[in-house]
Amino acid sequence: MKKTLFVLLVICVISALFITVAIVGAKKDSLPISQLDSSEKKEEVVSPPAKPLPTNREIIASNLILDNLTPEDVAEFLNLNLDDSASSPEVLARQVSRFTTFSGLLQAATEQSISVAPLFDAPEDFALVEESKIERNNEQAPWQKLVKGDRVDLVALDGQVVRLVASGLITKNDIKETVTEATSLPPELVDKLLQGDTKNLEQEALTSIKTYLTSYYGIPAGTLDALFSGNFNVSREMIEQLVLGRLINALGNNSQTISNTDS
């Protein structure tokens, strides 16, 4: 009986040892697997890429509502690179929304400012700055070429001219510059020609100049004869032909305008 109990006790002890060894081994085997699973899960987590900031071009284009102003004009005036990321999209959007338009007749122009009067209203003054763009009769022009009575459409930002488009009479100086560039004649000779002094100019050269002005400006030959004779106070019909599609009444008194263009 004692032997039997002893044998059973030995068997229990041995079984307990085997079970303990098995459990310990299982824990050792499972530890690297757990660590491996944990590391694999960490590698699977990928952060989404940061959303890039919008460019100056995108901000300007989405907030610009003026048809006669381009993103390039805005960027040049604000000294921005269109393709750079907008450093502050909200601030730039507010700047773009402050661009305004204004139309009227030119009253005066200096290097620093211009005065424009809308119909039936008092004139307003706008500052000219280095970045201001000026066009007259579809050509880039300095402020000195602006003539009182010109029809003016401009875009301004906080009272400063961004872009100005003017149209009006073809002045004596316009014709003088065009003839000089087209014929390579000295300006002094062209000036004498426009004053009616054609004694020292060959008939062939005179005919060539008349042909050019007729094709370039669409001025009738009879009108050119009057101009070359020094008669700038010719018919109303001639003046209306030089207005570039604008009604003469919109530019003020005829005689006053002629006086301004000669000065």
Instruction: Give the whole-angstrom CA distance, residue 202 versus residue 184.
Output: 15
Residue-level pLDDT at 153: 94
Instruction: Give the whole-angstrom CA distance, residue 101 versus residue 89.
Output: 23
Instruction: Give the whole-angstrom CA distance, residue 172 versus residue 222.
Output: 17
Q: Are 120 and 250 in contact (CB under 8 A)?
A: no
Share of the chain above pLDDT 70, in %: 57
Instruction: Give the whole-angstrom CA distance, residue 247 versus residue 203.
Output: 35
Q: Which fold has domain 99-167?
A: OB fold (Dihydrolipoamide Acetyltransferase, E2P) (2.40.50)
Tokens of 262: 């000669």
Exposed e or buried b for every residue in 136-166, given b needs 16+ CB within 10 A? bbeeebebebbbbbbbbbbbbbeeebbbbbb
Task: Round the average pLDDT of the chain to a whole number and report it.
Answer: 74
Query: Does the pLDDT value for residue 106 go beyond 70?
Result: yes
Mean pLDDT on 223-240? 58
Residue-level pLDDT at 257: 40
Domain boundaries, the chain: 54-97, 99-167, 172-262
**pLDDT level of residue 211 (50, 70, 90 thresholds):** confident
pLDDT tens-digit series, residues 121-147: 889 999 999 999 999 988 899 999 999
256 or 110: which carries more pLDDT confidence? 110
Q: Which of 89, 76, 252, 257 is nearest to 155 (CA)?
A: 76
147 DSSP assignment: -
